[in-house]
Amino acid sequence: MAEQYVAAVDQGTNSSRCILFDRRGRLVSVAQREHRQLFPRPGWVEHDAEEIWRNVTRVVPAAIRQIGAAPSQIVAIGITNQRETSLLWDRFTGEPISHAVVWQDTRTDRLVAELARDEGPDRFADRCGLPLMTYFSAPRIRWMLDHTPGLRQRAERGEILFGTMETWLIWNFTGGASGGLHVTDVTNASRTMLMNIETLEWDDVLLDAFDVPRAMLPEIRPSSGVFATATEVLPGVRIGAALGDQQAALFGQTCFSPGEAKCTYGTGSFLLMNTGQEIVRSKHGMLTTVAYRIGDQPASYALEGSMAVTGSLVQWFRDGLGMIHTAAEIETLARTVEDNGGAYIVPAFSGLFAPHWRSEARGVIAGLTGYITKGHLARAVLEATGFQTLEVVDAMNADSGIALTALKVDGGMTANNLLMQFLADLLDVRVVRPMVTETVSLGAAYAAGLAVGYWPDLQGLRSNWHRAGQWVPHMDPARREIEYTNWKSAVQRTFNWLRPEDQEL
């Protein structure tokens, strides 16, 4: 019998990719297409959803062709996606009402401030696990309904559909305007601010608060479970999973037990810890989110620490300052010196995310003296990612009551040995890199393969996970203490930089 594969479709912020995995969880082929980033106004970021769907219809056959396989060798499709990016479309024509509004878009900042006004940003945290921020979907839906004449009435009549990107893809995979299925999964729904984190259903109080008609919302399904059989692109192949990208990475790293955590290091970085069936309410600036739900089993939850600027600080060092030619060269430059020389860079470029959530903060370079060279600054750039991770881990440990014993890492920055060693030293735990660094796609493939019986159970998936590299801590505890104290003191200096009268709010 011909070899069988699972196709992961990763609809990301910059590109759409299709990766095929074999039964041992090994990557066998990759096809990718980038889509345009549209910036119609300062602070606005949009994607053309039709362009994205076209790209998906191309990368899936391309990945299959690459290894000379037949579509019949694909046993399931797993979908993972950029989270919170929101789209409205016409149920009857299948045409988007406008471009998708991307997660980085801050057009809803006034609206969010208004909604928070009396009770503060945490007024819905009990119900949805999230603070009020421009990051999430609900304010975006409200904004779109408010800014297109007649749209709200059409939405109330059920003529307009809302979806995040996995919803849009599944709808199109299953026929679009001619019979497409309108569904989402619990992980993506948990990022809208409209789903009740306990019942895993749309919550009337939240729908009222954001003034979003229930008729436009997709049905919420488990993350792993057969959604439907595709009629387009891969007719006859079952769609076995959908998960948000960071949740998919947690799944791909096989963090199935409470206390297991991973951190994905990219432009920004996201640390997620599985908290099992317990919904942990953060008192320390973490988000409460759904990790995954497999079929009818109870959902697993996660705490999430989001860091906005990590890899993008290296990009700034390269493109903004011109200190290096390629991102990888930062390690070479950083190794020209022994330590940071007393310099600390806090990259609060657009405020600070977890665990501080300070939108008025702006970045600083602290501890500057005449002694500091560009080598020290290169160290400070890399160390900023380490210190931010430590802050998130500290907050996570305090919230969960479980001390992290090892950190599984993935993403592009794991190629940086200096950073990985610094992380191990600072966190005082082992830092472990898995053999497959494409954990987002792997997680979607795992969840889909599980749904169709390609893999029998979670234990089988765990046995596919192999360590590719490991960094062990050996920093003197006294030095760690001093470094962290210095960092915290640098963070203090970023606060209250924007004064209320400066802000548009």
Partner 1 sequence: MLRLLAAAPDGLGVADLGNALGLAKTTVHGILRTLHQVGFVEQDHSGAHYHLSDAFGRLGESYLDPNELRSRAINWADSLASRSGEVVRVGRLAEGKVVIVHHVFRPDDSEQDLDVGTTLPAHATAIGKAVLAYDTSAASRPRTLEAFTTRTITDPARLAEELATVRSRGWAGELEEHTVELASIAAPIRGLGGLVVGAVGLAGRVERICDSRLRHRSDLVSMVRATAEAIGRDLRDDS
Interior angle at CA 80, CA 75 and CA 82, nearest 5? 160
Q: How far is the CB of 346 from partner 1 (least distance, A)?
A: 24
Q: Which residue has the tokens 């099992």?
A: 276
Distances in Å between the Cα of 290 and the Cα atoms of 240, 393, 402, 405, 417 are: 18, 19, 18, 22, 32
Residue 24 and residue 463: Cα distance in Å, rounded?
Answer: 9
Q: Is the Cβ–Cβ distance between 275 and 294 less than 8 Å? A: no
Q: How far is the CB of 420 from partner 1 (least distance, A)?
A: 9
Distances in Å between the Cα of 247 and the Cα atoms of 85, 169, 226, 239, 485 are: 15, 18, 18, 18, 32
Q: Is 345 helix (H, G, I), strand (E, B) or coil?
A: strand
Q: How far is the CB of 104 from partner 1 (least distance, A)?
A: 25
Phi then psi dihedrals of residue 440, to 5 deg:
-65, -50
Please name the helix (run of DSSP H) or strand (run of DSSP E) that holds residue 224, with its range, or none: strand 224-229
Q: How far is the CB of 19 from partner 1 (least distance, A)?
A: 11
Q: How far is the CB of 461 from partner 1 (least distance, A)?
A: 15
Q: How far is the CB of 170 from partner 1 (least distance, A)?
A: 29
Distances in Å between the Cα of 501 and the Cα atoms of 10, 74, 101 are: 42, 57, 28
Q: Is the Cβ–Cβ distance between 273 and 280 less than 8 Å? A: no
Nearer to partner 1, 310 or 437 (CB): 437
Q: Is the Cβ–Cβ distance between 8 and 444 less than 8 Å? A: yes
Of 47, 437, 24, 452, whose CA–CA distance to 225 is shortest?
Answer: 452
According to DSSP, the residues that pair with 349 across neighbouring strands are 351
Residue 223 and residue 295: Cα distance in Å, rounded?
Answer: 7
Q: How far is the CB of 267 from partner 1 (least distance, A)?
A: 15
Nearer to partner 1, 435 or 505 (CB): 435
Q: How far is the CB of 181 from partner 1 (least distance, A)?
A: 34
Nearer to partner 1, 33 or 54 (CB): 33
Nearer to partner 1, 133 or 314 (CB): 314
3-class DSSP string for 19-85 = EEECCCCCEEEEEEEECCCECCCCCCCEECHHHHHHHHHHHHHHHHHHCCCCHHHEEEEEEEECCCC
First and final C-alpha spacing in the chain: 63
Nearer to partner 1, 199 or 332 (CB): 332
Pairing of strands 269-276, 261-265: antiparallel
Nearer to partner 1, 325 or 499 (CB): 325
Q: How far is the CB of 292 from partner 1 (least distance, A)?
A: 24
Nearer to partner 1, 36 or 466 (CB): 466
Nearer to partner 1, 352 or 378 (CB): 378
Nearer to partner 1, 97 or 436 (CB): 436
Residue 410 and residue 415: Cα distance in Å, rounded?
Answer: 9
What does the radius of gyration of the chain's CA atoms come to, in whole angstroms? 22
Q: How far is the CB of 415 from partner 1 (least distance, A)?
A: 4
Please name the helix (run of DSSP H) or strand (run of DSSP E) that holds residue 367, with its range, or none: none
According to DSSP, the residues that pair with 366 across neighbouring strands are 344
Q: Please, how many CA atoms are within 13 Å of residue 238, restricted to the half-sphere of its CB?
A: 17
Q: How far is the CB of 463 from partner 1 (least distance, A)?
A: 10
Residues that bind partner 1 (CB under 8 A): 24, 26-27, 325-332, 412, 414-417, 435-438, 466-471
Nearer to partner 1, 290 or 382 (CB): 382
Q: Which residue has the tokens 């493939």?
A: 445
Nearer to partner 1, 321 or 328 (CB): 328
Residue 364 and residue 366: Cα distance in Å, rounded?
Answer: 6
Nearer to partner 1, 177 or 415 (CB): 415
Q: How far is the CB of 434 from partner 1 (least distance, A)?
A: 9
Of 221, 215, 230, whose CA–CA distance to 201 is shortest?
Answer: 221
Q: How far is the CB of 66 from partner 1 (least distance, A)?
A: 13
Nearer to partner 1, 134 or 414 (CB): 414
Residue 89 and residue 107: Cα distance in Å, rounded?
Answer: 20
